[in-house]
Amino acid sequence: MGKLFGVVIAVIAIASAVPIVMHTWDPPPNISTHGHAIDEQLSDTMLEAGISFLAAQLFLAFFVWKFAGRKDGAIKSFPGGARAMVIAALVLVGSEILALGVLGQKAWASVYFSPPAANALLVQAQAGQFAFYFRYPGPDGKFGVIHPDKINEGELNFFGLDPENDVEARDDIVSAELAIPSDREVHLLMHAKDVGHSFYVRELRIQQDFVPGLDLGLHFTATKPGKYEIVCTQLCGLGHYNMKAYLSVLSQGDFDEWLKQKASEQ
């Protein structure tokens, strides 16, 4: 049984690594300017974690295979004893932490520690049970104020706007789809209408929670035109699984056309 178990561990360890090595279920190609840093961090970590995983499992398998049922001879100790183990852990994990954890914070910094560009496209995203809505400020560049008591889904007033009294709200453009120009930074203002939600686009390498009562800013630049899925990743109720929208990355010309079209529909 000892030998069999050793073989089982080895087979499982190697089989587990196969889909990773074959890139069977890799993330989809990145379409953002910051995403490659995250991808690099991910693949470096995969390499280091993968080696640690295989080494530990194969050593375990080998030792079980070799020492199970051993009856004769004296108990031997691993050369170096506990001191060797402590030093090995400190050096191996310590250097991994330095390489990935400390130096690798660039990727995080590129998303969160730089201010949005001055010419970034301002879009507000509102998450509510169970849909996203997006709002563009219109020609005046300003958003109308949200009045929670005026929110009425039946009358399609998703943001609780008051265009009769609020000049800035009159030219706001509301859409269920997030269209953005490629190669231009987008500054997304995130507002939660009811409970917690999250904004996740795999291809953008972006995930950020919507926090009720706390409007957050998030900025990113998409580089590849196309249509991508936005899904909610924060449990928000029974319709959570179905809370999604589309992100359309368009050329600047197509985007201008789209915005004009949307404005005329308001």
Partner 1 sequence: MAEATASAQHHAPPQSFIRKYVFSVDHKVIGKQYFALALVAVFVGMVLSWLMRVHLVWPGFAIPGLHFLSKVGAAGNVMTPEYYLSLMTMHGTLMVFFVLTNAPFAAFGNYFLPIQIGAEDMAFPRFNMMSFWTTFVAFCVLVAAFFVKDGPPISGWTAYAPLSAVGSDAGPGLGLGQTLWGLSIAIFCLASLLGSLNFIATTLDLRVKGMTLSRMPLCTWAWFITSCIALLAFAVLLPACILLVLDRTAGTSFFIPSGLVVNDNLQPHSGGSPLLWQHLFWFFGHPEVYIAILPAMGIVSHVLINSMRRPLLSHKVVIACMMTIGFLSYMVWGHHMFVSGMNPFSALVFSFPTLVITIPATIMTLIWLGSLYGSKLRINTASLYALGFISMFVSGGVSGFFLAQPSIDIYLHATYFVVGHFHMVMGVAALFGVFAGTYFWFPKMTGRMMNESLGKLHFLLTFIGTYCIFMPFHYLGMAGNVRRYSTFVADYLQPLMPVHRFITIAALVTGAAQFIFLFNLIYSRFKGAPAGDNPWEATSLEWSTSSPPPFDNFGGKHPIVYHDPYQYGVEGSKGDYIMQTSPEPEEAK
Q: Which residues, 39 to 78, sit near partner 1 by CB under 8 A?
A: 41-42, 45-46, 48-50, 52-53, 56-57, 59-60, 63-64, 67-71, 74-78
Q: Of the candidates 103, 244, 257, 266, which one interacts with partner 1 according to CB under 8 A?
A: 244
Determine the length of the chain: 266
Q: Closest distance between partner 1 and the C-beta of residue 163, in Å?
A: 18
CB neighbour list of residue 46: distance below 8 Å, 6 or more residues apart: 20
Task: Taking each helix axis as running N to C, give the angle between helix 35-67 and helix 2-21, from 0 to 180 degrees, rounded to the nearest 10.
Answer: 160
Are the C-beta atoms of 217 and 190 separated by less than 8 Å? yes
Are the C-beta atoms of 109 and 234 separated by less than 8 Å? no
Question: Interface with partner 1 includes 239 (CB under 8 A)?
Answer: yes
Choose between 70 and 139: whose C-beta lies nearer to partner 1. Answer: 70
3 to 32: interface string for partner 1, x by CB under 8 A? --x--xx--x---x--xx---xxxxx----
Choose between 9 and 174: whose C-beta lies nearer to partner 1. Answer: 9
Look up residue 132 and give its two tokens: 């996203």
Q: Closest distance between partner 1 and the C-beta of residue 257, in Å?
A: 25
Choose between 13 and 120: whose C-beta lies nearer to partner 1. Answer: 13
- Interface residues for partner 1 in 182-221 (CB under 8 A)? 192-196, 198, 200, 202, 205-214, 216
Between strands 197-201 and 185-192, the pairing is unpaired
Q: How many CB atoms lie within 10 A of CB 139?
A: 9
First-last CA distance in the chain = 72
Choose between 123 and 259: whose C-beta lies nearer to partner 1. Answer: 123
- Interface residues for partner 1 in 151-170 (CB under 8 A)? 151-154, 160
Q: Cα–Cα distance between 32 and 91 in angstroms, integer?
A: 35
Question: Interface with partner 1 includes 139 (CB under 8 A)?
Answer: no
Are the C-beta atoms of 22 and 15 separated by less than 8 Å? no
Choose between 83 and 253: whose C-beta lies nearer to partner 1. Answer: 83
Residue 100, SS3?
Answer: helix
- Interface residues for partner 1 in 75-134 (CB under 8 A)? 75-78, 81-82, 84-86, 88-90, 92-94, 96-97, 100-102, 104-108, 111-113, 128-129
Q: Closest distance between partner 1 and the C-beta of residue 110, in Å?
A: 8
Sign of CA dihedral 143, 148, 149, 153: positive
